[in-house]
């Protein structure tokens, strides 16, 4: 099984970059069994909309994970509740809209998805480690012991992401970090067969600060004043990973980091 995952798709720059980069990546690397994107910043940097959800589906995206910003557009809550192809972090209370885990299917292939959020430097939330223990077992009870499982761990601290990767090593196919928008260079296969990277990066404008224009952010740092963020339109690029999974074991045999500049002018 081959999975293509895009890190946080940020603003309209990221949406345009995703649309332009997917055909290029497919030409270079071939077809994929599943394409997954983190969508929590897709609507003007915060949250999601039905329109963007449908745009991603039309691009061939099979599933969308998210993080703390998925709650920023309440009008999307009904879609979170009704759609099985979009996920919010599972360690929010069960009373929150949406699902945090599930099994998606395409052309006879099945993939478990688990979306988690970290606790370090993040809003108060239940333990992602305890949640992972319960839900990985649940997914395997539904899909079989060798069900491939992809985990998007949306977290700030690299240490917490690494801890999660070792906690789940050998139990899931991949633990991929999101949230920081800065791609790390530590992709690897862990000792028991789980693919890992601390952060897949950001699909968006990289000439700026985490997807926004330099000038719109600086007042916050220099003067401590509120400011209105503006999307960076320069340096557009796709950031993500390709993960290769052994069908017989559900464990990974390879992970490749991708940084693809895209001209969206």
Would you call 69 a catalytic residue per the annotation?
yes
Determine how many CB atoms are found less than 10 A away from the CB of residue 13: 28
117 in helix, strand or coil? Answer: strand
Give pairs for 228-231: CB < 8 Å, separation 24+.
229/45, 231/10, 231/11, 231/12, 231/13, 231/44, 231/45, 231/204, 231/205
Residues contacting 234, CB < 8 A, separation 6+: 205, 206, 207, 208
Tally of CA atoms within 13 A in the half-sphere of 254 that contains its CB = 8
- Tell me how far the alpha carbon of residue 232 is from its chain's centroid: 20
Residue with tokens 């959800």: 53
**How many Cα atoms are found within 13 Å in the side-chain-facing hemisphere of 61?**
25
State the DSSP H helix or E strand holding residue 252, giving kind and residue range, or none if neither: strand 252-261
Query: Among 69, 101, 154, 179, which one carries the catalytic annotation?
Result: 69
Active centre residues (catalytic)? 69
């Amino acid at each position: 099984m081959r999975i293509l995952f895009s890190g946080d798709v940020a603003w309209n720059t990221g949406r345009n970059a995703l649309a332009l980069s997917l055909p290029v990546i497919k030409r270079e690397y071939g077809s994929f069994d599943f394409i997954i994107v983190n969508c929590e910043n897709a609507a003007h940097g915060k949250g999601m909309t039905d329109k963007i959800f449908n745009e991603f589906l039309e691009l061939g995206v099979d599933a969308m994970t998210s993080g703390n910003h998925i709650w920023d557009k309440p009008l999307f809550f009904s879609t979170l509740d009704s759609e099985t192809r979009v996920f919010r972090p599972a360690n929010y209370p069960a009373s929150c809209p949406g699902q945090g885990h599930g099994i998606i299917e395409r052309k006879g292939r099945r993939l478990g998805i688990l979306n988690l959020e970290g606790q370090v430097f993040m809003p108060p939330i239940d333990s992602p480690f305890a949640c992972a223990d319960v839900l990985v077992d649940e997914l395997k009870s539904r899909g079989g012991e060798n069900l491939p499982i992809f985990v998007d761990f949306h977290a700030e601290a690299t240490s917490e992401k690494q801890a999660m990767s070792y906690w789940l090593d050998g139990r899931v196919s991949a633990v991929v970090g999101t949230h920081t928008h800065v791609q790390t260079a530590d992709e690897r296969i862990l000792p028991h067969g789980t693919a890992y990277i601390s952060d897949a990066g950001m699909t968006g404008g990289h000439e700026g600060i985490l997807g926004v224009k330099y000038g719109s952010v600086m007042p916050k740092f220099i003067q401590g004043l509120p400011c209105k963020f503006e999307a960076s339109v320069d340096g557009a690029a796709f950031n993500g990973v390709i993960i290769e999974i052994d069908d017989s074991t559900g464990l990974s045999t390879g992970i490749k980091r991708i940084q693809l500049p895209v001209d969206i002018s």
